[in-house]
Amino acid sequence: MKIFFQKIIVSLIIIAITCSIYTQDKFPQYRVHSNKLLLSGENSAPSFLPVTTVFAAAVYLINPIILLENKKLYAGITKEFSVGFGKLGEHRFAAEYSFIFAGNISHHLRFSYKYDIMLKNNLKPSHMIQGTDVISPGVGYFTDFKGNGIFPEISFGYSLRNHKLLFFPYVKLRHTFMFKKDKSDITDLSFGIIFGIANPFIDVKISDEE
């Protein structure tokens, strides 16, 4: 599975670079001069937003989610941001917003705690980015602003992190138990990329070797 996530990351980088080279090679550059659009010369600056920036933003922002609720399947997009504590930010508190395309558009908000079980041994706080497979069990609170619930969850991914930053491609499975009897429980599956920070108010001791 580690190799699977590594291949995904490498593939995304290759596609982004290829798209950037293609657009630079195939499309002329333009500049504005005397209120006219002219072909650029050697000294002009490109006016197009780099494709790599757009591509990276899309990959980061669009995290698909599929839900099973009341025996019906729904789809949407979701985004999670987490703040971690501990030597490697393994104790994570997260907020997640989901936009669900279901008949009437619905909005889901979740707050949760997760613990990252890192499958690579001997990881230590470091300024360098370190990679490892991670299993993350968690629990949290759910609201769709019409009903509330609690949920357990489990996620798996390949974490890239140091003592301050987290970049986490993941797959997550979750089941939400609703408090109201007239509200159906929700099971959801999502995947994408989580970005987070760690120890924002704490200076973690880094080994002299780092």
**Does the structure show a pLDDT above 90 at 137?**
yes
Q: Is the CB of residue 172 less than 8 Å from the CB of residue 78?
A: no
Q: What does the pLDDT read at residue 121?
A: 85
22 vs 67, residue with greater confidence: 67
Q: What does the pLDDT read at residue 125?
A: 83
Q: What does the pLDDT read at residue 97?
A: 96
What's the CA gap between 153 and 59, in Å, rounded?
23
Task: Give the chain's domains with CATH numbers.
Answer: 1-61 (no CATH), 63-204 (2.40.160)
In this predicted model, what pLDDT tens digit does every residue of 141-163 receive, in sequence order? 999 999 999 999 999 999 998 88
What's the CA gap between 195 and 95, in Å, rounded?
11
Q: Is the CB of residue 59 less than 8 Å from the CB of residue 12?
A: yes
pLDDT band with cut points at 50, 70 and 90 for residue 27: very low
**Does the structure show a pLDDT above 50 at 50?**
yes
In single-letter form, the type of residue at position 139 comes to V
**Does the structure show a pLDDT above 80 at 78?**
yes
**Does the structure show a pLDDT above 80 at 34?**
no
**Does the structure show a pLDDT above 70 at 109?**
yes
In this predicted model, what pLDDT tens digit does every residue of 192-201 receive, in sequence order? 999 899 888 7
What's the CA gap between 44 and 30, in Å, rounded?
8
In single-letter form, the type of residue at position 51 comes to V
25 vs 202, residue with greater confidence: 202
Phi first, then psi, for residue 170 (nearest 5°) are -150, 165
Q: What does the pLDDT read at residue 208?
A: 52
**Does the structure show a pLDDT above 70 at 19?**
no
